[in-house]
Amino acid sequence: MKEEEIVEILKTDDENFRKLYQEHRELDNQLVELDKKHYLSTEEEIERKRMAKEKLYKKDKMAESVRVYRKTHSLN
């Protein structure tokens, strides 16, 4: 089973995964908006770095959920 298929299953069946996925997408959209600016203030730069770290953390948690799903469902 492909990772994309597992993600779709988890988005449907796992509320925590769905929340992580939605928050990850929101952070991505916010970062895209910040990146459209030609100049970031010091505060915006700090906030951008914080959001990027949070987005990566959520991505890592989602990847962990996919690994657990694969392991518990004996998928390779």
- In order along its 76 residues, the chain shows pLDDT tens digits of 899 999 999 999 999 999 999 999 999 999 999 999 999 999 999 999 999 999 999 999 999 999 999 999 875 5
The CA distance from 60 to 15, in Å, is 17
Q: What is the dihedral of CA 72, 21, 11, 7, to 10 degrees?
A: -50
Amino acid 74: pLDDT: 77
Amino acid 76: pLDDT: 54
Neighbours of 21 (CB within 10 A): 19
Neighbours of 58 (CB within 10 A): 20
Amino acid 62: pLDDT: 98
Amino acid 37: pLDDT: 95
The CA distance from 28 to 56, in Å, is 10
